[in-house]
Structure 1
Amino acid sequence: MKLDFSTPNQESRILSVGSYRPSRVVPNSEIVDRIDSSDEWIRERSGIQSRRFASKEETVIAMSKAASEVALKRAGIEMTEVDAVIMATVSYPYQTPSGATELIRELGNPKAAAFDISAACAGFCYGLGMASDLIRAGTAQYVLVVGVERLTDFTDPDDRGTAFIFADGAGAVLVGPSQESGIGPMVWGSDATNREAIALEPSWLEIRDSTEKSWPEISMAGQTVFRWAVYEMAPMALKAIEKAGLTVETLDAFIPHQANLRIIDALAKAMKLPDRVAIAKDVVTAGNTSAASIPLAMDALLTERPDLHGKSALMIGFGAGLVYAGQVALLPPEPKFRT
């Protein structure tokens, strides 16, 4: 006996991208006093000059909705046509139900499949890979992938190691069917031996039982993460390029997780990327927005370099766990409708 069904002969690609950046711009000068630092020190270690902090009204869902609406409009697709929404985040403030279910209700399609991914800074790449597989298998026609964070809710403003790094924002891509391959195979994995290198702690149970701690905050072993990212992610990135049938010489753009400008520059050097490859460096004015950083950087790069629409880009995400994922994809074509 066998199941009587067939899968569609179709590929997948990114149809559009949208983003939302909180209105409040926070320069280094607003950070330095509380952490006994300087603008020069922050720039030297991270490359960050400013970042965005969300207001009370700019919630995880509000930012996600704004970014999603831009992506949908640019693709000329109605939300009612979307089969699934995947939200990558570690800062949605409810354990359950998922943020994605709240988002589909706000967007006007409460019947769509919806779930969250907790893969930290690799979450967007995880979501993109899943969306591609759903479409190629015929399980979905259109999938909205959202990366969103309000990391300021979980950052200690007095912590010299994290206060200047983390920020807020949202980005979204609409993934749909294509006659040609538009999203390459995902390369993913973990190094759980360094699981504690980045963490949101203490746990809710520890907070419940403690009289001292009332809220979890991000902790990070910066040097451990830096060394791991620089030395371990370059081989993974090259593998993703190879799996997509390209080489560093034929790649058009590099959009890594915007963790730190020093990491981005070191990865580009380790991969021996030619000067012609456009490299996203949104971290300079956006800070580290974890799962939101890649779609935010993608939108910014396409605004700066519209000639890259439809060209190839390597995307890699890496973060708490330590987890990683990456793939090469064709960047979305020119928007059907301007926003």
Structure 2
Amino acid sequence: MNDGQERLGGVALVALNGASPQPGSRIVGLGAYRPATAVSNQTAAAAAGVDAQWIVQRVGIQERRHATASESVVAMAVEAGDKALADAGAGVDDVDVVILATCSMPSPMPNGAASVAARLGCRAAAGFDVNAACSGFSHALAVADALVRAGSARNVLVVASERMSDWVSAQDRNTGPIFADGAAAALIGPAQHPAVFPVAWGSDGHQADLITIRPQTGHMEMAGRKVFRWTTSALMPVVEAACRNAGITPNELKAFVPHQANLRIISSLAEAIGAPGMVTATDVVSSGNACAASVPLAFHALRQSGRIHSGDRVLLFGFGAGLTYAAQVVLAP
């Protein structure tokens, strides 16, 4: 052993410091990074050839963030991850695994997580990417929870980072005004009692062509109306299953943080849940749809605003391209 590391054939390995199976996991800290460049509806509407009010009426977005050349997927992930570690009072040597949820890396190789781990200074931490599009954070959180409970890691840094502006055409009114950039992170650690409850997840690959990148253009194409119908008609059973997995009813939720796809979708799902006094995240209004980063960005914003408190039952729910979906109840840190 040497400074928390073991070497095998010259390769550094993370020492788990006696990590063993745990009764549960919890979110220890949260962090977020929002690009400084705000794009108004007037600018987005002009590029897409629509009226600014049309964007508000259709998706509820009033402003979105776009990354500059220096704000890469990895660079934004590092910023968010660093803030999550600071929020948790943890150091880089405490991190055993880094999981990056993203679908907007410029190339499939190398993966982004290893670069994020290296730039943060997480020496020899395992690093891998999860691509489940807009449900990526919820998928990565489920994996992190399983790793901690199994004893394969004590602390897992889950980061979601997206540069969707690279993958949409500003001239396409179905995607250009909607998708945005940003990153957010959560540090997952052991708990004596579960505070990340079992995931309810799945996919419907028969409808995968509703949201896709066309090879001919390199841009995303989305059948917006069909996606809207799917999300508002098929996903409530996932909400109910996630609540059952946590041993609660939807009425006991204190907050709902769905994927920030569209304000009408968010409102429809929240109304269907119908929990009295439930706070619903609507970060989409000021941040747009940041794909995998949208759920943790919205979660972070609710916590920062003081609208949720430590121990509150919060339903996180990602859904999107694939078609993929994943939901879990967590206790707010």
* TM-score interval, smaller chain: over 0.9
Aligned counterparts of 2:121 and 2:107: Cα–Cα separation in 1:
21
From 31, 47, 54, the counterpart of 1:41: 54
Would the alpha carbon gap of residues 6 and 261 (structure 1) be closer, same or farther in structure 2, given more than 3 Å must change?
closer
Aligned counterparts of 1:331 and 1:67: Cα–Cα separation in 2:
18
In structure 2, the partner of 1:311 is 312
Q: Residues 72 and 79 of structure 1 are in contact (CA less than 8 Å); yes or no, is this contact kept in structure 2?
A: yes
Q: Give the SS at the match of 1:77.
A: coil
Q: Give the SS at the match of 2:252.
A: coil
In structure 2, the partner of 1:153 is 166
Structure 1 segment 192-207 matched on structure 2, within 5 A: 192-202=205-215
Q: State the shift of 1:162 in Å.
A: 0.8
Structure 1 unpaired stretches of 5+: 203-212, 333-339
Q: Residues 252 and 275 of structure 2 are in contact (CA less than 8 Å); yes or no, is this contact kept in structure 1?
A: no
Q: Give the SS at the match of 1:249.
A: helix
Aligned counterparts of 2:59 and 2:260: Cα–Cα separation in 1:
10
Aligned counterparts of 1:113 and 1:122: Cα–Cα separation in 2:
22
In structure 2, the partner of 1:336 is none
Structure-2-length-normalised TM-score? 0.92
Aligned counterparts of 1:263 and 1:46: Cα–Cα separation in 2:
8
| Aligned partner letter, 1:224 | K
Aligned counterparts of 1:158 and 1:306: Cα–Cα separation in 2:
37
Q: Residues 303 and 309 of structure 2 are in contact (CA less than 8 Å); yes or no, is this contact kept in structure 1?
A: yes
Would the alpha carbon gap of residues 35 and 6 (structure 1) be closer, same or farther in structure 2, given more than 3 Å must change?
closer
1:89 aligns with 2:102: yes
Would the alpha carbon gap of residues 262 and 82 (structure 1) be closer, same or farther in structure 2, given more than 3 Å must change?
same
In structure 1, the partner of 2:125 is 112
Q: State the shift of 1:272 in Å.
A: 2.2
| Aligned partner letter, 1:22 | P
Q: Deviations over 1:241-292 (max 9, x none)?
A: 1110111221111000100000000011122232x11110000000000000
In structure 1, the partner of 2:37 is 24
Aligned counterparts of 2:317 and 2:182: Cα–Cα separation in 1:
18
Q: Deviations over 1:173-192 (max 9, x none)?
A: 00000111101110110111
Once structures 1 and 2 are overlaid, which stretch shifts more, 113-122 or 233-242?
A: 233-242
| Aligned partner letter, 1:115 | F
In structure 2, the partner of 1:271 is 273
| Aligned partner letter, 1:303 | Q
Aligned counterparts of 1:309 and 1:296: Cα–Cα separation in 2:
17
1:280 aligns with 2:281: yes
In structure 2, the partner of 1:241 is 243
In structure 1, the partner of 2:221 is 219
Name the count of aligned residue pairs: 316
Once structures 1 and 2 are overlaid, which stretch shifts more, 23-32 or 298-307?
A: 298-307
Q: State the shift of 1:201 in Å.
A: 1.9
Q: Residues 101 and 110 of structure 1 are in contact (CA less than 8 Å); yes or no, is this contact kept in structure 2?
A: no
Q: Residues 22 and 190 of structure 2 are in contact (CA less than 8 Å); yes or no, is this contact kept in structure 1?
A: no
From 226, 229, 232, the counterpart of 1:230: 232
The percent identity for this pair of structures is: 45
From 254, 257, 270, the counterpart of 2:256: 254
What RMSD over aligned residues (CA atoms) do the two structures have, in Å?
Answer: 1.4
Q: Give the SS at the match of 1:308.
A: coil
Q: State the shift of 1:200 in Å.
A: 1.4
